[in-house]
A and B are shown apart, each in its own frame.
Chain A
């Protein structure tokens, strides 16, 4: 009962200086919003990256020798690398025991309306073995021996307003390709690609028997090290596992993340000093009041407790507001992140997560306790006499 009265008393004190209270809460909200956004981005990014790598459907990617991890990242993301594996490499890979699927991939770009479009040459049968979750929104999938046909990803179809029966021309000789099917949404980069039979991509871009990578699915994942070693013995091939890919991509974004953490640290430090300054000003202004309270029986602990409750209320309110801002502005934040982070997986990067909300609230609570402690101790030690005398000065 007394605690409730104490809290009510503290809240009424805060309402006395509404503008200052509001500005302090906004300061905390800004710091917590950045903190919350970073945590949700970090969790969302890792989750979506995992999902995206999972959606590759392969346990390993065999890529040409060079910078294997960056090359693998580019391939998954729809980038084009200027090195190729040959059909002999594919045959050697397929011959290794324990390899269930070795699907050749050939990526190429063409430009339409000054925007790059990715053409993904695949083996229709093997690709559907790798990605059994693929289903058609409209139309059908092509067969390997069909010429002049393609399937497009869901997002691409929406953004370009494509439908089954439409014809697009590309390749070195601008050859026409009819859309025979549109994929259902996969929430991966597949939603953005034009899928053609690999033999057609090799033909129209003049890359006979060449491929950008081989996606490999194993019969038994526990043999991944052994089979990787066997694949590495093929002279042109370098092997990348999905976990290595994950590490590489996370390293790519690591520097951006460090920058964001620095921004957060600065925001939090500014916010902390701002709150301490506000509280100290408030304590100084209320010295005589504290003196009166002590005269009528308040202990130093009571005064300190009052200041702490006020501070914690300020920072918790700021925390809730900051989380709210963050959630409401998640589309903007995501757009900003996609602009500055080098590799961003498809799907929602920022999603509301109860655990992260809890951590962010705990963070604002800790800020409250850290900021409130010094002013609370200072005010609790005021002698009633000094405090009252102060009002005469």
Chain B
């Protein structure tokens, strides 16, 4: 593995419930090396998703600093964070969030619509091949199984050739056999040099990671 692609120092996020101040993340120090496969685990409410969202520039910390790909992102504006997400990150969600009226190919191509890139046909073909859905490119999401939908979501996350893949419970909605296929796919992608950070309750997936980051009450334990 190479140098750190993510460096977080004393990363803190709080919420208010009435007069009470709740720590979703409490002074987290974390380094993720380029090419690393890290799994964030912990009980519900421990701050796993909040940490993943923070590392993915979807959320901003209340305190602490965060550097991603040598850029300090703590004080970036939404537009700049959007650019960073577009250029170096891919996201996979538990709910897939596929657009029901778009075909497999169109869902995968979606990021190109937003970064105004053209001439991406070969890239998309290659991604479709990687996720094993060559025969299903024109199908709509409702014609796919859960595992296939998650593969499309992974394909969409990979299409802009990100350096970091962030996945929130990518096997959470899948049966064990399908989950195993997804895990193997993630493992293969990591083998090709992609940095992967997953939030998971799936032990098999967590055990494949180079490092497990256990969270409890907003702290790494």
Measured CB to CB, the residues of A under 8 A from B are: 1-2, 5-6, 9, 12-13, 15-16, 288-289, 291-300, 302, 383-385, 388, 391
Contact = CB atoms under 8 A, between A and B. Distances in A.
Interface in B72-120: 78-79, 82-83, 85-86, 90-91, 93, 95, 97, 99-102, 110-111, 113-116, 118
Contacts of B113: 2, 5-6, 9, 302
A15, A294, A297: residue with the most chain B Cβ atoms closer than 10 Å: A297
Contacts of B85: 294-297
B90, B111, B114: residue with the most chain A Cβ atoms closer than 10 Å: B114
Given A1-B118, A2-B113, A2-B116, A296 B86 contact: yes
A296 B95 contact: no
Interface string B31-62: 00000000000000000000001001011000
Q: Which 3 A-B pairs have the closest CB atoms?
A: A297-B86, A292-B97, A12-B101
Given A2-B116, A297-B82, A288 B101 contact: no
A291 B99 CA distance: 12
A383 B78 contact: yes
B101 A13 contact: yes
How large, as a class, is the contact surface on chain B? 20 to 34
Nearest to B159: A296
18 contacts: A6-B113, A13-B101, A291-B58, A292-B97, A293-B110, A294-B85, A295-B58, A296-B110, A296-B114, A297-B86, A297-B111, A297-B114, A297-B160, A298-B114, A302-B113, A302-B114, A385-B53, A391-B95
B219 interface: no
Chain A contact surface mostly: helix
B157 interface: yes
A26 to B, nearest CB: 21
B100 A288 contact: no
B156 interface: yes
Nearest to A5: B113
Nearest to B85: A297
Given A9-B113, A297-B115, A302-B114, A288 B86 contact: no
B76 to A, nearest CB: 13
Contacts of A2: 113, 116, 118
A149 B81 CA distance: 93
A296 B156 contact: yes
B156 to A, nearest CB: 7
A13 B113 CA distance: 15
Nearest to A16: B101
A288 B82 contact: no
B56 A295 contact: yes
A385 B58 contact: yes
Contacts of A388: 53, 58, 93
A275 B63 CA distance: 42
A14 to B, nearest CB: 9
A300 B56 CA distance: 17
Nearest to B91: A295
Interface in B103-160: 110-111, 113-116, 118, 156-157, 160
